[in-house]
Amino acid sequence: AQKITQTQPGMFVQEKEAVTLDCTYDTSDQSYGLFWYKQPSSGEMIFLIYQGSYDEQNATEGRYSLNFQKARKSANLVISASQLGDSAMYFCAMREGDAGNMLTFGGGTRLMVKP
């Protein structure tokens, strides 16, 4: 079974609307971390937001928030008020354990923002 699953290969959203990018994960560890990265067409990996497995509140960073449902093993990224510059690939990734150095990535979702 895949450890990180992103079921939406591509999505469109109208500028200024909110969009949710799905991510489900699979782990037997009690302690883990979930990350979202943005990869624009220029290719660099840009960190967006982090959620720890023991965090009681959903993470937020500006227009980004994470809808963390631990029992369902989902960590969906919500982008509010979409902008044209949000058009990019978005990757969900998981770090298992507290001190692990390894990230497991999902296959990504390509988001396209329409003007």
Partner 1 sequence: NAGVTQTPKFQVLKTGQSMTLQCAQDMNHEYMSWYRQDPGMGLRLIHYSVGAGITDQGEVPNGYNVSRSTTEDFPLRLLSAAPSQTSVYFCASRNSGDSARPQHFGDGTRLSIL
Q: Can you tell me the distance from the alpha carbon of 20 to that of 34, in angstroms, rounded to the nearest whole number?
A: 16
Whether the CB-CB separation of 59 and 67 falls below 8 Å is answered with no
- Of 50 and 78, the one with the shorter C-beta distance to partner 1 is 50
Q: Does 71 bind partner 1 (CB under 8 A)?
A: no
Nearer to partner 1, 74 or 96 (CB): 96
Counting residues that bind partner 1 (by CB under 8 A) gives 24
Q: Which is nearer to partner 1, 26 or 98 (CB)?
A: 98
> Token pair of 26, please?
């699979």
Residue 91 contacts partner 1 per CB under 8 A: yes
Residue 18: both structure tokens together: 């909110």
**Residues in 3-62 at the binding interface with partner 1, rule: CB under 8 A:** 4, 33, 35, 37, 43-45, 47, 50, 52
Shortest CB 16 distance to partner 1, Å: 28
For residue 104 the two structure tokens come to: 């497991």
Could you tell me where the DSSP H helices lie in 1-115? none
b/e burial code for range 80-110 (CB count within 10 A of at least 16 → b): eebeeebbbbbbbbbbbeeeeeeebebebbe
| 77 is an interface residue for partner 1 by CB under 8 A | no
**Binding status of residue 107 toward partner 1 by CB under 8 A:** yes
Place of tokens 């923002």: 113
* Binding positions for partner 1, rule: CB under 8 A: 4, 33, 35, 37, 43-45, 47, 50, 52, 91, 93, 95, 98-108
